[in-house]
Structure 1
């Protein structure tokens, strides 16, 4: 059980480091020259994206759905409720993570659209 906790922490750390250029911190790829206002424009667009929450009501709903599905699946497939709590916790974590990832992608879209609105040719 202790190894599972360390593996979960390691996976979380890896995921966090992979998200360095994502969400509100996203720096889009610009085709062509950038003007003198690029850094200011980027900071303003990133601040706009950062004002959008990563965890919201949908995240809580996704966590609850994940917990219910995983808990029910554990009981149905194992034909007992011995691991019901663990299954529900894993399901809740999976649901919340999926929703947070989607919200993070929405923040990237905000940065891209904001930069396009300021006249930059954003290609990625």
Structure 2
């Protein structure tokens, strides 16, 4: 894989995960109240407003690139650049997954704060 594909591939991975946490529809204990759908939409928008590629995601990509470069340089059949690319993709993807988990938690906690009986 050429290094020029790294930004495109990372952008594609992040775009695929972009709203998955924010679009979460939680499980309720009981019947939804009349205000539930409006509250859900507001909480999902709040979660959607959180950036997917935040500082934590960037740090994970940088750490992954560093670790991958070291492992690639240590392997006789690989190179440091290839290891850095794979490490950056792995770290960036892990950071994006964590960001989506945080978005899902935002939806859950927001609905709980509005009085809805969310179980998960």
Provide TM-score, normalisation by structure 2.
0.81
Stretches (4+) displaced over 6 A: none
Count residues with an aligned counterpart. 110
Give the 5 Å matches for 1:42-61: 42-61=40-59
User: Which residue number in structure 1 is paired with residue 117 of structure 2?
Assistant: 121
For residue 21 of structure 1, report the CA deviation from its aligned partner: 8.4
For residue 83 of structure 1, report the CA deviation from its aligned partner: 2.4
Question: Residues 21 and 27 of structure 1 are in contact (CA less than 8 Å); yes or no, is this contact kept in structure 2?
Answer: no
User: Which residue number in structure 1 is paired with residue 81 of structure 2?
Assistant: 85
Alpha-carbon RMSD across the aligned residues, in angstroms, is 2.4
**Residue 108, structure 1, aligned to residue 104, structure 2:** yes
Provide TM-score, normalisation by structure 1.
0.79
Rounded to whole Å, the distance in 2 between the matches of 1:95 and 1:51 is 22
In the alignment, structure 1 segments of 5+ residues that lack a partner are: 2-8
For residue 22 of structure 1, report the CA deviation from its aligned partner: 3.5
In the alignment, structure 2 segments of 5+ residues that lack a partner are: 2-8
